[in-house]
Structure 1
Amino acid sequence: MTGSAAIAAGRLRSVIPVDRAQRAIADTAARPVRAVAHEVTRPSRARKLARDWGSGNNIVGMDAKQLRDQARHLERDLDLARNALNVLVQNTCGSGIDVLAAPRKAGGKVDRVLAQEIDALWDEWWDRPEVTKMHDYGRAQQLMARSLFRDGECYYQDIIGPVPFYTHGTRVPYSFEMLEADMLPLDFTEPGRRILQGVERNAWGERVGYWFYKIHPGESIGWNTETKFVPADKVNQLALIDRIHQVRGLSVFASSMSRFEDVKDYEESERIAAKVAASMCAYIKKGQPEGYGQGEGGLAGEAVLENGVPIREMRFTPGAVFDDLLVGEDIGTIATNRPNPNAATWRKEQLRAAAGGIGTSYSSLSLDYNGTYSAQRQELVEKWGGYLMLGEQFIAQGPRKQRQRFIEACLLAGLIKAPRGWTLANVAASTYVRPVMPWIDPLKEAYAKGEAEDRGWASPQQNTLLAGNNPNDVLTETADWNERRAQLELDDAAAVDPAPSASTRTGVVHSMLTKD
Structure 2
Amino acid sequence: MHNRTLINKYQAALPANPHTKKRNPRSTSKANQLNKDAKSLRQRARHMDENTPFVTAILDEFCANVVGPNGIMIEPQPLDKAGNVHTEFARQINEWFELFSLKQNIDGEHSRAETEWLACRTWLRDGEVFARYYMGYHPEIDYPSGTPFGVQPFEPDYVPVNISEPERGVYEGIRRNKLGQIISVLIQRDALGFEFSEVEARFVTHLKFTRRFHQNRGVTLLHSVMDLIADVEDYDQSERISAQIASRFAYFIKRDSSTEVSDAFDRGGDVFLGMGNSFELAPGEDAGVVESNRSESMSSPFRDAQMRLASAGSGVNCSSVTRHYSGTYSAQRQELIDSFARYRILQRKFVTCWTRPQYRQALEMAILSGQLKVPKDVDAESVLNAIYQAPVMPWIDPAKEMTGVEKGTRLGLQSLSHYQRERNFNPVSVRREIKAERQAMNDDAIVSVADPAHNIASKVQHSASSKNQTSQNTNREAKNAEDE
After TM superposition, the score normalised by the length of structure 2 is 0.84
For structure 2, the residue ranges without an aligned partner over 5 or more in a row are 462-484
1:153 is aligned to 2:125: no
The structure-2 alpha-carbon separation of the partners of 1:321 and 1:422, relative to structure 1 and needing over 3 Å to count, comes to: closer
Residue type matched to 2:455 in 1?
A: P
For structure 1, the residue ranges without an aligned partner over 5 or more in a row are 1-32, 216-221, 306-311, 505-516
C-alpha separation in 1, matches of 2:87 and 2:358: 22
- Map of 1:316-355 to 2, 5 A cutoff? 316-319=273-276, 324=281, 331-337=287-293, 340-355=296-311
Residue type matched to 1:39 in 2?
A: Q
SS in 2 for 1:468: coil
Q: Could you say which residue in structure 2 is the equivalent of 1:10?
A: none
1:91 is aligned to 2:85: no
1:171 is aligned to 2:127: no
2:229 corresponds to which of 245, 253, 260: 260
C-alpha separation in 2, matches of 1:53 and 1:172: 49
The structure-2 alpha-carbon separation of the partners of 1:442 and 1:492, relative to structure 1 and needing over 3 Å to count, comes to: closer
1:248 is aligned to 2:221: no
1:123 is aligned to 2:95: no
Contact residue 121 and residue 172 of structure 1 kept, 8 A: no
The count of corresponding residues between Structure 1 and Structure 2 is: 448
C-alpha separation in 2, matches of 1:227 and 1:283: 70
1:75 is aligned to 2:49: yes
Q: Could you say which residue in structure 2 is the equivalent of 1:383?
A: 339
C-alpha separation in 2, matches of 1:126 and 1:485: 32
Shift, 1:187, TM fit? 1.3
Contact residue 80 and residue 86 of structure 2 kept, 8 A: no
Q: Could you say which residue in structure 2 is the equivalent of 1:16?
A: none
1:374 is aligned to 2:330: yes
Shift, 1:120, TM fit? 1.4
SS in 1 for 2:370: coil
- Map of 1:48-447 to 2, 5 A cutoff? 48-55=23-30, 58=33, 60-61=35-36, 63-95=37-69, 96-104=71-79, 108-215=83-190, 222-283=191-252, 302=263, 316-319=273-276, 324=281, 331-337=287-293, 340-419=296-375, 425-447=381-403
1:480 is aligned to 2:436: yes
1:498 is aligned to 2:448: no
Residue type matched to 1:279 in 2?
A: R
The structure-2 alpha-carbon separation of the partners of 1:485 and 1:183, relative to structure 1 and needing over 3 Å to count, comes to: same
Contact residue 448 and residue 455 of structure 2 kept, 8 A: no
Shift, 1:331, TM fit? 4.8
The structure-2 alpha-carbon separation of the partners of 1:499 and 1:379, relative to structure 1 and needing over 3 Å to count, comes to: farther
Contact residue 274 and residue 339 of structure 1 kept, 8 A: no
Contact residue 106 and residue 426 of structure 1 kept, 8 A: no
Q: In the TM superposition, what whole-angstrom CA distance separates every residue of 1:424-453 from its partner, at most 9, and x where no partner exists?
A: 641010111211321111111011011011
Shift, 1:55, TM fit? 2.9
Identity %: 27
Contact residue 211 and residue 228 of structure 1 kept, 8 A: yes
Shift, 1:274, TM fit? 1.1
Contact residue 81 and residue 379 of structure 2 kept, 8 A: no
Residue type matched to 1:253 in 2?
A: L
SS in 1 for 2:154: strand
Contact residue 274 and residue 338 of structure 1 kept, 8 A: no
Contact residue 273 and residue 339 of structure 1 kept, 8 A: no
Shift, 1:495, TM fit? 8.1
Shift, 1:362, TM fit? 1.3
SS in 2 for 1:248: coil
The structure-2 alpha-carbon separation of the partners of 1:287 and 1:258, relative to structure 1 and needing over 3 Å to count, comes to: farther
- Map of 1:6-85 to 2, 5 A cutoff? 36-42=8-14, 43-44=16-17, 45-55=20-30, 58=33, 60-61=35-36, 63-85=37-59
Q: In the TM superposition, what whole-angstrom CA distance separates every residue of 1:106-138 from its partner, at most 9, and x where no partner exists?
A: 971111121122111101111111111000110
C-alpha separation in 2, matches of 1:164 and 1:304: 92
The structure-2 alpha-carbon separation of the partners of 1:225 and 1:314, relative to structure 1 and needing over 3 Å to count, comes to: same
C-alpha separation in 1, matches of 2:82 and 2:227: 52
C-alpha separation in 2, matches of 1:56 and 1:304: 84
C-alpha separation in 2, matches of 1:274 and 1:494: 56
Compute the RMSD of aligned alpha carbons: 3.0
SS in 1 for 2:150: strand
Contact residue 64 and residue 249 of structure 1 kept, 8 A: yes
Residue type matched to 2:368 in 1?
A: L
Contact residue 86 and residue 378 of structure 2 kept, 8 A: no
Q: In the TM superposition, what whole-angstrom CA distance separates every residue of 1:186-227 from its partner, at most 9, and x where no partner exists?
A: 111111111111111111111111112113xxxxxx534222
C-alpha separation in 2, matches of 1:111 and 1:442: 34
Q: Could you say which residue in structure 2 is the equivalent of 1:15?
A: none
1:457 is aligned to 2:413: yes
Q: In the TM superposition, what whole-angstrom CA distance separates every residue of 1:280-307 from its partner, at most 9, and x where no partner exists?
A: 124456787x99xxx9xxxx984999xx
Contact residue 53 and residue 59 of structure 1 kept, 8 A: no
Contact residue 174 and residue 185 of structure 2 kept, 8 A: yes
Contact residue 93 and residue 435 of structure 1 kept, 8 A: yes
Q: Could you say which residue in structure 2 is the equivalent of 1:510?
A: none
Shift, 1:41, TM fit? 1.6
C-alpha separation in 2, matches of 1:242 and 1:302: 78
Shift, 1:465, TM fit? 1.2
Shift, 1:363, TM fit? 0.5
SS in 2 for 1:60: coil
Shift, 1:182, TM fit? 0.7
Shift, 1:343, TM fit? 1.5
Q: In the TM superposition, what whole-angstrom CA distance separates every residue of 1:300-336 from its partner, at most 9, and x where no partner exists?
A: 984999xxxxxx9765444555654686x76543332
After TM superposition, the score normalised by the length of structure 1 is 0.80
The structure-2 alpha-carbon separation of the partners of 1:153 and 1:495, relative to structure 1 and needing over 3 Å to count, comes to: closer
SS in 2 for 1:100: strand
C-alpha separation in 2, matches of 1:495 and 1:176: 44
Contact residue 280 and residue 333 of structure 1 kept, 8 A: yes
The structure-2 alpha-carbon separation of the partners of 1:303 and 1:484, relative to structure 1 and needing over 3 Å to count, comes to: same
